[in-house]
Structures are given as C-alpha cells and as structure tokens.
Amino acid sequence: MSEERGCAPASVALAFIVGGALGASLALLFAPEGGRQTRTRLRDLATDVKDRSTDLVDDVRDRVEDVFGVGKEVFEEKKAILTAAYQAGKEAMERERDKLQER
C-alpha cells in the first residue's frame, strides 16, 4: 500500500523508528524519575536510535547497490542484443544494396 502512494519501504521504516524514538523520549521526559536517571535513559535511547539508524542506512545502501547492479546487468544485456540486431540489419542492408548494384 505504501508503494502505491510513492513511499519506499525504507522511508516507512525510518518514519516508524524516528516516531518511536520521539515517543520514547517524550515518555522519559514526563516520567516521574530523577534527572540523572532520565538523562541516562535518554543517552541510552539516543545511542540505540543512532545504532538502528546506522544499520538502516547500511541496509538501504546495500539494497540500492544491489538494484543498481541488477539494472546495470540488464542494461548491458539489452544493449548487446540491440547492438547485434543493429549490426545484422546493417549487414543485410549492405547485401541488398550490393545485389541492387549488380543488376
């Protein structure tokens, strides 16, 4: 459903991670704990979000590289087919031209 609206799955995942981090941060800020405990929890949460974001970015980068690799392979394959077809057409045209010139 998200692809129909133009949202990539990675964007949706990132939105959930960021939303979860913001929600957790707000919950910690309004929780009845001492300042030191809250700061420690926020620091741990920030580290966790940073690690998850880094993992997500690495995953997205790997997927994009895979897609580009496959796309490049398909492009090269189609290019070879078109080049061969063009060359065959050119040779056929030259043969027909030679036949017409012999008449």
Q: What are the pLDDT digits (tens) for 3-50? A: 455 677 777 877 888 888 888 777 767 767 677 887 888 889 889 988
Lookup result for tokens 């941060």: 25
What pLDDT, on the 0 to 100 scale, is given for residue 4? 53
* Average pLDDT of the chain, as a whole number: 84
The residues spanned by each domain of the chain are 9-102
